[in-house]
Structure 1
Amino acid sequence: MDALERIGFDRLGLVVTPAGTATPAVSAPLLAEFAHVGVRFVNPEAITDGLAGPHRELIAHVRAERGEAGDYAPLFRGFPDRLPEFDDAVFRFLVARVRMIGSDDTPDAWREALDFSRMGWWPASSIPQDTARAEADRRAQALLPKDGRVEWITVRLVGAAELEARLREWMRDCFASAASLREDVQSDLGVLVKLLGVGDLEMGDVRFRENRVLLFELLWALDRKLLPSTGATPDDLLRLFAKLTGGDPSLTAPVGYPRLSRADRRVVVNTLEASDRLGDVFRRRGLWLAIDRGLHVGEFRAPRVRETFARLRDSRHDRGSFPSRFERLLAADYAAAVRLAAAEAPGLLGRGLRRLAAVATGQQQRAVLVEALTGAAERIPLRVLFAAGAQLADNGRTYPRVVFGKDGSALPILRRPGHLAVPEEFRKELLGALDAAVDLRIAAKGGWYGETVHVEPGLDRLLLPDQLRATAQGLVQVERGSRLPIGQAEVVRLFVHWREAEVTSDLDLSCIALDASFGIAGQVSWTNLADGMMTHSGDLTSAEEGAEEFLDIDLAKAARAGRERGWRYLVPVVFRYCGPTFEALPEAYTGWMLRDDASSKDRVFDPATVVNAFALTGLKRCAVPMLLDLETHEILYVDVYLNGQPRPRVEQEGHDVATLVSAVVGRHHTKTSVAALALRHARARGAALVDDPGRATITFGTSADCTYDALHPEKLLADLL
């Protein structure tokens, strides 16, 4: 399975089958093997015998993507149907401590002291891994039947030429995306640029800053002589230097200057000479003066650059960073600050629109803001206009909120409802200006007259993705706060797997029950293994051979508990109790399955039932992958990490988890949905809406057969924003 085939499968749901014939005696077992891991084909008739053999690597890849790292086994052989109803962790450890009197403080002694199964009490828990027993349990698991449910990955069989053509198209869509791309997507783009080149890319279509930086970084590594022909601006070069030296491409801090050969400096100078934005060096005079000392522009035949840098050195005016200039001016002259933003940083005007509207005093200042917004709208990114509209529509009603850092870290914003609220009449006026601007921008993309559009039900639950950079590298790409239905499954089985290296590690899987106001209403964890609705498989405190913990949620019982106890949300949390960080572990995965049954008679881990799985990363102590909404029967993607205290557990961190989760749940009030984007395009571009996807020429949905697949949003982000 080469790199192109792997990327084609992951990003486009395509599988290459070599040219040739199909023999039923070969194709039938092949299709069965794929079905065993939850893969089915929309065109099984296209399969050929040539796929036999290469299919093994693809199936192994699918297993890994669905979280299967070796054979999984629970700590308790009776999980989940033979666990006791009573389990008090504090009492268990007190008794174990008594039994340890006179014994050496060793893992084996603790394992023996905590094992009360011979007394008919609860099973052993919170013990080091017994590697011999773990191996035996894994062999026993392999003999058990699978669960009857399958969460299908639907793919298409294609030839090698079609795969390459589709990958070139996908690469163009990614670079043209109007929002950030997930880190693993960026990595795949690097592979494609190396293998396929950039001849198919239109540099003018690469609009989003991060994607431009990525492209220029790739070109610098592969063939930097192409850089002068790309239209790169002085700011693009500064961001490239920041990436090459480990700095911040946002240019809010000084930029390091990489060590360049004379040939490299010639490339940089020629790129500046070819740029129609050369005058932008004056906007960041201090940064370019620092770089000028090592660039030696006088050595090269570049008259525009030499003349511009001579004026740059003679100028005594350093305008400084725009944000600082804007804030100083805003405090002194509101109208001048707003006009400055409209002229020099229209994106900042859009992102700060609600704040600027809230602090505007009097009709004159409000008129200035509306005028500035109307005049700058065509230069404000469309995704920023949508975000500004959603923020104004909410008007400060939804708090707490959350912002995500570039590393995936989350920071809750705690304010009283009504913070920065805009007076109603002024709010309506601004929303009218935004709506008009959005419609004009969309209409400019071309008419859809004569087209019919179908929008799949449920897309109003998926948020428009614009911060995918640091989202988990799972099977789907959705914005945090998006919801997907559970379907008809009886049980949600959560899992975490990890393997330690030289240092003992302990990951703990827990689940917190919250009421509708996000108050803590219950929990299941290593301190409380079962509550009648949720069942924990037990706690291992080491993972020499790779360890797993599972937690089952009986959906019918949990729904009844929701009605009887006031439960609304179930929130899984993975705590790093001790040992290396998630990032430092050789293996660390979490995810969830949807199953028809939960019984010790069935295999505890079945890759075909996995809905999503992803690696645990980062330096934090707690990971919250998702939550289960018992009222709507949906899974909501949370995907956040928290610091937490040393040796964290539910009793310590529950409140912080609840606060952060409430902010993620509330994002649907402050962000645009995929359905709203689709409907807006259909209306503004003159298309007709239809209820039947079979009658539609343009479809929005959650499968690869749709024109725009919301779960793989690169084309959507390129075409519609």
Structure 2
Amino acid sequence: MERPLESLVVRHTLRLPVPSGPAGQGATAARQFDAALLSVGFKLSAPLLEHLSGLAEETVVETASRTLETVRGMTGDHVVHNAYFKDFPANVPDTFDFWMACVREALSDDATRGSTLAQLRTGVLDLLTLPSYGNYRHTYEEMLAAHEELIAAAGDRMTVLHRGGPLAEEVTAVYLALAGSTTPLGEEGLRDLGLLAGHCADGPQPPEIPVRENRAVVNRARLGLGAELLVDTVTDVLRLACALSDGDVSLTEPTRLKSLSRPVRRSLLAALDAVVAASPAKLADVTAHREEFKRLGERLHPHEYPRWPHAAQVFAVARGEQEVRTLESRVEELLGSGDVPGAARLLATAAPGRLLRSLDRLLRGCPGPEERAAVTAAAEEAAPRVSGRVLLSVREHLRNRGGAAAARRLFVNPRGRAWVGPDTRAPLPAAEAARLAGFLDAEVLRRLPDPGHLLLDPAVLDVALPLSGKATAAGLGVLPRGSLSPVDGELLRFFVHWTQREHSTDYDLSAVMLDGAYKALSWLSYTALQTVGGEHSGDITSAPAPDGASEFINLRLDAVRGEFIVPQVNVFSGEGFEQVAESFFGFMLRDGEQLGRPFEPRTVRMKSELRGPGRVALPLVFLRGADGGWRAKWLHVYLRGTPSANRVEENRATVGTLVHGIVERDYLTVRHLAGLLARRARTTEEWNGGDPPEGPVTYIGLERPDGLHPDSVVFTPENLRALIPG
């Protein structure tokens, strides 16, 4: 168990738990460990190197082996990355010439000559029938031999691993941070929380678990220990049942509930009974998931337990045998009669968070200024009882409601499916919008801690606030949707790797270049192996285990035409992103003379998992600035696409529309929250490298600097969600 827990701590915190072991002469092994880490873009902090040097050599070697395995997985270096064209990015042929070479080879082969001629006579040729198309023609070792060694450059990524405490302390700290998070976790975060909860559920607990999905994962572990369940709604029990069935605790996707043991059935029924007995009005929550509760009733057999009659009411409501008045119906009745302030007052009492989320609709429904003032007053009164995440989400919403009524409206669901449509809503009245923004900021400021000496890395200010972990894919160097980060380098190289599970699977890495009006100028894909400033590594059409398959795109940024570069991964055939054994995307940055293999881990700036519901993945977009420099804006979205044969040529218009919607959206960033924190700070200072202050600070940046006072509070992308007040 220690090995996966140690790996988990490194992934979440970039801290290496100090290994336990005898003292010794480990200095040489520690330096070798540090050198090995450098090859994949990591290094040991000075305190960590010093600590390891004082341990026995065998302890250091064992620690190095485990840690290298972890960080290689973080960069994508845990798999082999072959390329169809062995010399890529050199000697990539013209697309038509390459296809003709494949045809000539097929015609020279007795086994394929007849079928190829038959296809040519019809005027339509399937490339996949050509024996030399889509399959590696050389081994990984032969590809490596064709490339010179990477030349080290000052711009190579260098991620520092810091010294942690004992493993038990580090594991507990990560558990408390994940379980007590004020924002929803992503898929990886929930999975890791499940592992930690099983290990930590009988130890220290966060004072509150505000996110319902997190609560379900923790409740699963508590149920196994016989501890008291943390439930206060009937939906909490449904989420727990989904967790016990290894299903979707967010209730977004249907879960096939498993049969439950008698002790578990008794625990769940007792929990339902207690919730309804304490507050019968909570029966109204059943209607939002009526079918799921019906299935739960089939698993719990409530008729066998007459001592919990209130639990039986839950399933009577689900079956339609007992009527309950929902909050939504009461609100709609008031709105239907024109009593918008009355609807606002009802929501303020019964569901203050829902009131804040409904403000746009309520204000637009008010007939006059008096009603708008009453709605705004109800929201202001309810704000102290609303989570910080909702307050900041509404604040971001207001920032994007100042344009014309016909502006684009962006929709992104919790799983990353995105679409854009015209915004036909009337503008919000300026006076009410300004008043709302003012009291939202004031309420968030009231909840923020005193940072004392606030130390800010300017590079973090344009990172979007992580209001939901579901807006960020798991991986290395990944930032929340809407974040902006600089791109410093001459060569930009994308990569995708996938390993199919059961069926032959073909993913196609592509990139489309857009002009300032978001119209396609050119693209790189298997149908366009070369364009101005770029090359494609060639089409691989199947990715069997264990090696899988990789594709690359290489771009010289000074030669790119257009204002936007949009990489995308298309599912051409086979398993989707959620069905394959593994799939991930990333990009590297290099200086022009660095050479090296197609994949070099220390040049990887970002590697993110591809685990979305659509057939076209859009991880991020690159924007050219007014100064000619480039920046990345993070998308983390998926298009539905078609069941097969998704290609950049067919979706470039849709991609342009979607990118327009996300690029033009004004996301709430760290800059906003830092501005509020600065009002409380004793001193606010920018940090641009060098030695940090001697005393404790509150530091917000992309990476933790060496030399911070041990009592400092540090926020980096790994724990940025902790900035969001509860």
Same fold (TM over 0.5): yes
Matched, 1:45 2:50: yes
- Tell me the equivalent position of 1:642: 639
In structure 2, the residue matched to 1:35 is 38
Contact 1:283 1:320 in 2 (8 A): yes
**Residues 346 and 614 of structure 1, relative CA distance in 2, 3 Å threshold:** same
Task: Provide the rounded CA distance (Å) in 1 between the counterparts of 2:495 and 2:311.
Answer: 61
Is contact 1:13-1:704 (8 Å) kept? no
Distance 2:313 2:91 in 1: 79
Per the alignment, residue 5 of structure 2 pairs with 4
Matched residues in 2 for 1:715 and 1:359: separation? Answer: 34
Rounded Cα–Cα distance in structure 2 between residues aligned with 1:586 and 1:254: 22
Q: Whose RCO is larger (CA < 8 A, sep 6+)? A: 1
- Greater mean alpha carbon deviation, residues 499-508 or residues 8-17: 499-508
The one-letter code of the counterpart of 1:552 is N
Conservation of the 8 A alpha-carbon contact between 2:87 and 2:147: no
Distance 2:204 2:113 in 1: 60
C-alpha separation between the residues in 1 aligned to 2:272 and 2:501?
Answer: 49
Judged with a 3 Å threshold, the aligned counterparts in structure 2 of structure 1 residues 573 and 341 are, in CA distance, closer, same or farther, namely same
Report SS of the residue matched to 1:226: coil
Q: Which residue of 2 aligns with 1:578?
A: 573
The counterpart of 1:426, out of the listed 411, 415, 432, is 432
Q: Distance in 2 between matches of 1:340 and 1:252?
A: 27
The equivalent of 1:183 in structure 2 is 187
Q: Deviations over 1:592-640 (max 9, x none)?
A: 11112367x5222111111122333345321112111222521221122
Q: Which has the higher mean CA deviation after the structures are superposed, 285-294 or 45-54?
A: 285-294
Q: Which residue of 1 aligns with 2:399?
A: 393
Instruction: State yes or no: 1:330 paired with 2:349.
Output: no
Residue 64 of structure 1 is matched in structure 2 by 73
1:681 aligns with 2:677: yes
Q: How many residues align?
A: 678
Alpha-carbon distance change, 420 to 134 in structure 1, aligned in 2, over 3 angstroms: farther
Q: Does the C-alpha gap of structure 1 residues 595 and 256 become closer, same or farther in structure 2, counting only changes over 3 Å? A: closer
Write the letter of the residue equivalent to 2:88: F
- How big is the shift at 1:396? 4.7
Q: CA deviation at 1:581?
A: 2.4
Deviation of 1:423 after TM superposition, in Å, equals 1.9
- Between the aligned partners of 1:395 and 1:470, the Cα distance in structure 2 is 21
Retained in 2: the 8 A contact 1:468–1:478? no
CA distance in 2, matches of 1:321, 1:141: 68
CA distance 1:285–1:41, change in 2 (3 Å) = closer
The Cα of 1:92 is off from its aligned counterpart by 6.0
Q: 1:412 to 1:219 in 2, by over 3 A?
A: farther
Deviation at 1:53, TM superposition (A): 3.2
Q: For the structure 1 residues 283 and 246, does the alpha-carbon distance in structure 2 shift closer, same or farther, using more than 3 Å as the test?
A: farther
Q: 1-side partners of 2:231 and 2:105: how far apart? A: 74
Which residue does the alignment assign to 1:612? 606
Contact 1:507/1:541 (<8 A) preserved: yes
Is the 1:464–1:672 Cα contact (8 Å) retained in structure 2? Answer: yes
Contact 2:233 2:282 in 1 (8 A): no
Q: Distance in 1 between matches of 2:593 and 2:716?
A: 31
Q: Distance in 2 between matches of 1:36 and 1:92?
A: 35
Match of 1:200 among 186, 189, 204: 204
Whole-angstrom CA distance in 2 between matches of 1:7 and 1:682: 33
**Where do 1:210-225 residues align within 5 Å?**
210-220=213-223, 222-223=224-225, 225=226
SS of the counterpart of 2:62? coil
Residue 594 (structure 1) aligned to one of 586, 589, 592:
589
- Give, in whole Å, the separation in 2 of the partners of 1:126 and 1:598: 35
- 2:390 aligned to 384, 402, 410, which one? 384
How far apart are 1:6 and its partner, in Å? 0.5
Kindly state the Cα deviation for residue 507 of structure 1 after the two structures are TM-superposed.
2.0
Residue 680 of structure 1 aligns to which amino acid in structure 2? L
The offset of 1:40, in angstroms, is: 0.7
Residues 24-43 of structure 1, C-alpha deviations (whole Å, 9 max, x = no match): 43232222111111111112
1:402 matched to which residue of 2? Answer: 410
Q: CA deviation at 1:201?
A: 0.8
| 1:653 aligned residue | 651
Q: Is the 8 A contact 2:201 2:222 kept in 1?
A: no
Aligned partner of residue 598 in structure 2, secondary structure? coil
How far apart are 1:337 and its partner, in Å?
1.6
The change in CA–CA distance for 1:22 and 1:541 in structure 2 (over 3 A counts) is: same
Q: 1:502 to 1:107 in 2, by over 3 A?
A: farther
> What's the CA shift for 1:109?
9.3
Q: Aligned partner of 2:474: which letter?
A: Q
Instruction: Find 1:166's aligned residue among 160, 163, 170.
Output: 170
CA RMSD between the two structures: 3.8
Deviations 1:47-86 (A, max 9, x none): 23221134223212322221125432332233223345xx
Secondary structure at 2:70 match in 1:
helix
Flag structure 2 segments of 5+ consecutive residues without an equivalent: 121-129, 706-711
Cα deviation, residue 492, structure 1: 1.2
Percentage identity across paired residues of the two chains = 26
| Alpha carbons of structure 1 residues 317 and 371: separation in structure 2 relative to 1, 3 Å | farther
The CA deviation at 1:655 is 0.8
Change (3 A) 1:393 1:361: farther
Q: Does the 8 Å CA contact 2:585/2:609 hold for their aligned counterparts? A: yes
1:272 Cα deviation from its structure 2 partner: 5.5
Match of 1:347 in 2: 353
Distance in 1, Cα, partners of 2:624 & 2:565: 8
Work out whether residues 464 and 668 of structure 2, in 8 Å CA contact, stay in contact via their aligned partners in 1: yes
- Does the 8 Å CA contact 1:461/1:484 hold for their aligned counterparts? yes
What is the CA deviation profile of residues 177-229 of structure 1, one whole-angstrom value per residue up to 9, with x for unaligned ones?
11111211111111112223343114x51112222222223323x22x2135x
| In structure 1, C-alpha distance between the alignment counterparts of 2:163 and 2:701, rounded to whole Å | 21
Following the alignment from structure 2 to structure 1, what is the Cα–Cα distance between the partners of residues 314 and 157? 61
2:160 is aligned with 1:154? yes
1:120 aligned residue: none
Q: For 1:130-169, what per-residue CA distance to the aligned partner results, in whole angstroms no more than 9, with x for missing partners?
A: 556234524525874455453112112345x2x3213212
> How many angstroms apart in 1 are the aligned matches of 2:433 and 2:602?
50
Note if contact 1:141-1:604 (Cα within 8 Å) is conserved in structure 2.
no
The answer for the alignment partner of 1:415 in structure 2 is 423
Name the counterpart of 1:485: 486
Which residue matches 1:226?
227
Q: 148-157 or 365-374, which moves further after superposition?
A: 148-157
SS in 2 for 1:612: strand
Contact 2:297 / 2:315 at 8 angstroms: preserved in 1? no
- Separation in 2, partners of 1:524, 1:253: 35
Distance 1:580 1:360 in 2: 49
Gaps of 5+ in 1: 115-124, 562-566
User: Match for 2:213: what amino acid?
Assistant: E
Residues of 1 paired with 2:186 and 2:494: CA distance? 24
TM-score norm. by structure 1 comes to 0.83
TM-score by length of 2: 0.83
Instruction: Call closer, same or farther: CA 1:526–1:110 in 2, change over 3 Å.
Output: farther
